[in-house]
Amino acid sequence: MRLRDKRCLITGGSRGLGRALVTTFARHGARVAFTYSTHDGDAAEAARLVEAAGGAASRVFKGSVADPAHVKATVDALAAEWGGLDVLVNNAAVTQVLPISLLEEADWDLVMDTNVKGAYLMTRAALRHMIRRRAGHVLMIGNFASERVIEAPAHYAASKAALRGLTDALAREVGRHGVRVNLLAPGLLDVGMSRALPQHRQDEYVARAPLGRLGRAEEVAEFAAFLCSDESAFTTAAKVVVDGGL
């Protein structure tokens, strides 16, 4: 119960790693809210799993993290209902597995708007409440693609690398206000982007990773819960890679 009574907002919480995050945080005692953009059935299932994990009925918000109006409405609603926000997890992300020669400008913009602009908008909105209370934690979900030399879609890798710089700069800017900012970079998991990769690419990853397997979303979610807890109160500006040793 390392997150008991923490008020947590997780973006992109309906599927994949996001779903593991919302259920794990609920199991650790957090009050959980999450956003999603398109899949209503998946969002309903994630909310059900939160309750099954012992959490209160989660607050669910549909919209794009790249939409300033949606972001402001979401954070303001939670702040009004909960009296503040303790944790923000910027997990929402999109990608396409395409070589750069086939990337259209619209593809680049979609990934950058969701993965980078979305994190900026959500963080800016959350920080206004955290700084006022002089406490809070922002966790960026990066990716091993920005940390290791391994083949990955160029626009996706670039967007995740941008989060590294955002983490470093923000941690130094808001630390004096009692707010921590960290980045967690998972390796290839059994959910999410791996589903779009051909089997031989997954096999290559497994062959190169010292642990010899893909990661499990629940393993990463447990690490995220630790980073967002008071147990890691002296940790900020950290960029932690959890990729099986790649």
Catalytic residues: 156
Strand 179-186 vs strand 87-90: parallel, antiparallel, or unpaired? Answer: unpaired
**Burial of residue 233, with CB atoms counted within 10 A of its CB: 0-12 exposed, 13-18 middle, 19 or more buried:** exposed
CA dihedral 204, 208, 213, 214 (to 10 degrees): -70
Tell me, rounded to whole angstroms, the distance of Cα 228 from its chain centroid: 12
Is-contact 117 43, C-beta < 8 A?
no
The Cα-based distances of 222 to 31, 50, 171, 211 in angstroms read 16, 15, 22, 18
- At residue 215, the 3 state secondary structure works out as strand
Q: Exposure of 100 by Cβ count < 10 A (0-12 exposed, 13-18 middle, 19+ buried)?
A: exposed
